[in-house]
Structure 1
Amino acid sequence: MKSNKYMNWFLASVLALAGLFVGACEDEPDRYEVASGIPVVKYVRVPDLAASDSLLSGAYMSSTICLVGENLRSIYELYFNDQKAILNTSYITDNTLIVNVPKDIPSVVTNKIYMITQIKDTINYDFKVLVPGPAISSMKCEWARPGELAEIRGDYFIDDPSKPLTLKIGDTNIDIESFSQSNISFVVPENLTSSALEVTTIYGTTKSKFHYMDTRGMLFDDWGKDEGGTGLTNHGWHAREIKKDEFSLDGSYMELGGATMTADGGWADANFAFEYWPGDWNTPQGFTGTDIRLSDLVSFKDFKNMSLKFEMCIPSSNPWMAGAMQVIFSGDDQVTMQTANNTFFNNDTGYPRALYRPWSSTGSYDTADEWVTVTLPITDSFAYDQNGEKAKIPLTEKNFTGLTIFVWGGGVAGTECDPIIKIDNIRAVPN
């Protein structure tokens, strides 16, 4: 009797669990299930139904395509050449399968899609994975000195026995030290001139939009030291220190710092502010020579498609951990030498500026005693007020006669620090 009692209890429990499973199945009538049988692909098209007549025989890596056919829910795994694709069952029906072409370059090229069922049947379909030509996005330091190890960043840097990866700067062929799909390293040779970079692979040749040793759109480079540059330097309230020493990248440079920066980026303009405000003290005010408007030196007519760039060095001994570098273009209506003021950017009008704070993602930032290139696209970067909110007014072509750089505030708290920030080669260039 006792055993029957326990048996009845056990059977009741099993029936209860079975009821739960049946209920669960009934609650998910549309639950995805892999089908049996063999998939058939009739054609491949773009996912957009409005362009569904655009049939494809190949597609670039990372692009999205749609397989059209029958019994496509029987596909358990999908490969393009030897690269496995990620399947999302939300985009698979019996007749369509939307998928991204894998982003990695195939090691073995067969120009086929392989569809594998749950029982390991394999069906192939002719389809080419197209590899783009090389993409050159940036250079760690565009003014890397001869003998230094320089780094180019981008994608699709491919070496092929039939067509080796090559690099040129101007007319000079460069020996590549090492490379990956996204990086090329090389030792800078002597006597290079300002030129675009050119990378060639089996898939094509690409020239960089930026130049090595870019002198286009130069605003500040010799910092008034008569080294053959623009000659512009401090031209405002603060005589920022201009140095030429073992850190020098290309002659003299300007330095911010030499004092404590509070965690909230407290106002410390005596050490952290640089101004170039145009104009002299004559009546009427003149704007020539070293009093020139920046917009008379460099055209900002197409500023929406330009970037402000400069080289920067932060010694590892003095990392940057608080305060935003507020980079502020100004027009004559905001400030000149004769109307010197800081109210145009230090109030609630929401005057636009860039807020550069590379320390905020890790809590601390330095460049390991090296120089790096900083790029601030004008349209995207110069869109904030002093607290990091969206600026209330936009920049116009009239707002490029002067420049202020001030490490201060920014709306993000950090850690008290004693940063030293060295800056050279401030320039405005096409994107």
Structure 2
Amino acid sequence: MKNIFKTLLTLVAVTLTVCIYSSCSKNDKDETGTPTISYIRITDPSSSDSLLVSAGQGNLIAIVGTNLQNAREIWFNDRKAIVTTTYVTNTSILVSVPSEIPVDITNKIRIIFADGKTLEHDFKVSIAEPVISYMDCEYVPTGEIATINGNYFYQPLTVTFAGGVEGEIESITDAIIKVRVPAGAQPGPITVKTNFGETKSDLFFRDNRNIILSSDPFTGWWNSSFVVSSPGPDDPIAINGNYIRVKRVIGAWGWTEVAGGPPDAMGPISKNIPDAAILKPEDYNLKFEVNTVKPYNNNTIRFNFGLSDFNNDAYLWNPPIDTKGKWQTITIPFDEYADAFKSPLTVRPNGYYTRVLFLGPGELDADISFDNFRVVPKVNKD
């Protein structure tokens, strides 16, 4: 019912606008001269001073001029609009900007008249530049497929990795790009370019900034046996050197420390959280890669990062998650992480305590891998 009401309102608005422009045309005696376009405006009669030099896809506009009554075709770039003769008068044409994405960008309107003559006018169809939201996994080996999620991925399109190398596009929709990672791709932002703009990502591909736990090499107090250095045929592939794999049954409330230790045991990596992240956690994300061969569907994983000591009530990363044997990047806003603690995080020049701990209700048949814990800026300011 709401949709019917909206449609009726739209028809009423268009009809009123047509009547206004039609009444103007009745007073115009010159209907045989050369067609001209004086200006383009929005169709709201109360906004007669709202002139346009561009409009978005699907927007209804009014082309105002003289001797327009014989218009038969209207083109925006290389896309043909639908012309309704009822909305064509001597002094105005109401027409909607085509929704289809143009390929040949001329930034002009072209009107073709009954006698074959044409009239062009500068006018830009505003189409959004690409938006890069996230990657399924920010660590993908050379030759494998990376998935980029976002919006306005209009063809033709290129994806360029840091290092200046371009990936081979496997498939594109408006919101998802699948691209093969080229040789020579380096850690850093990716750039997506279309005919309508170029966007450099805030995320870093193969992000090597501020790594706080990676096992390259193993440091800390606990469970070097969890570290996979040379993956076998039954192990997940390596995405950045060594990784941690926990493959065992963990009972309810069974204390299972996966990795970590105090600063002196972790070494220099314990100092990698930026001071700015401690002081303004809202500007940062905690990220890591995870791979669940079996679903993480029970128990609880607790994270200790950026603390002055161990905290058994640390940030709780609760189930469920199931990556079905693929690596996936997890993003936790660092302010959400910091809010889990009773007191604010404080800068510690000598480093921070680190721990990944299983401790929670429910037995878990675990087969879960981790890599590349890092605290990185939300926004790329380069």
1:356 matched to 2:349: no
Conservation of the 8 A alpha-carbon contact between 1:44 and 1:57:
no
Conservation of the 8 A alpha-carbon contact between 2:146 and 2:181:
yes
In the alignment, which residue of structure 2 is the partner of 1:192?
Answer: 185
In the alignment, which residue of structure 2 is the partner of 1:395?
Answer: 345
Matches within 5 A, 1:41-60: none
Partners of 1:54 and 1:306 lie apart in 2 by: 41
The amino acid that maps onto 2:159 is L
Give the one of 283, 300, 311 matched to 1:305: 283
In the alignment, which residue of structure 2 is the partner of 1:377?
Answer: 333
Cα separation, partners in 2 of 1:33 and 1:43, compared to 1, 3 Å: closer
Deviation at 1:254, TM superposition (A): 1.4
Conservation of the 8 A alpha-carbon contact between 1:293 and 1:401:
no
Conservation of the 8 A alpha-carbon contact between 2:298 and 2:319:
no
In the alignment, which residue of structure 2 is the partner of 1:176?
Answer: 169
1:328 matched to 2:304: yes
Matches within 5 A, 1:134-149: 134-149=130-145
In the alignment, which residue of structure 2 is the partner of 1:429?
Answer: 376
Partners of 2:166 and 2:10 lie apart in 1 by: 56
Partners of 1:127 and 1:358 lie apart in 2 by: 52
The amino acid that maps onto 1:377 is P
Cα separation, partners in 2 of 1:276 and 1:135, compared to 1, 3 Å: farther
Instruction: Compute the TM-score of the two structures, normalised by the length of structure 1.
Output: 0.56
The C-alpha deviation readout for 1:56-103, integer Å capped at 9, x for no partner, is 7656689x99xxxxxxxxxxxxxxx999xxxxxxxxxxxxxxxxx99x
Conservation of the 8 A alpha-carbon contact between 2:249 and 2:363:
no
Q: Secondary structure at the match of 2:203?
A: strand
Q: Secondary structure at the match of 2:282?
A: helix
Cα separation, partners in 2 of 1:134 and 1:267, compared to 1, 3 Å: same
Instruction: Compute the TM-score of the two structures, normalised by the length of structure 2.
Output: 0.62
In the alignment, which residue of structure 1 is the partner of 2:119?
Answer: none
Q: Secondary structure at the match of 2:332?
A: strand
Structure 1: runs of 5 or more not aligned: 1-31, 46-52, 66-80, 84-100, 113-125, 226-232, 281-289, 336-340, 360-364, 386-390
The amino acid that maps onto 2:147 is E
The C-alpha deviation readout for 1:262-305, integer Å capped at 9, x for no partner, is xxxx42222x543332136xxxxxxxxx43472x3342324431
Conservation of the 8 A alpha-carbon contact between 1:320 and 1:366:
yes
The C-alpha deviation readout for 1:307-347, integer Å capped at 9, x for no partner, is 121111110xx211123433232433xx1xxxxx5xx343x
Deviation at 1:44, TM superposition (A): 5.4
1:259 matched to 2:252: no
In the alignment, which residue of structure 2 is the partner of 1:417?
Answer: 364
Partners of 1:398 and 1:56 lie apart in 2 by: 56
1:156 matched to 2:152: yes
Structure 2: runs of 5 or more not aligned: 1-8, 22-39, 44-48, 61-78, 82-95, 110-121
Alignment root-mean-square deviation, CA: 4.3
Deviation at 1:38, TM superposition (A): 2.8
In the alignment, which residue of structure 1 is the partner of 2:260?
Answer: 275
Partners of 1:130 and 1:324 lie apart in 2 by: 48
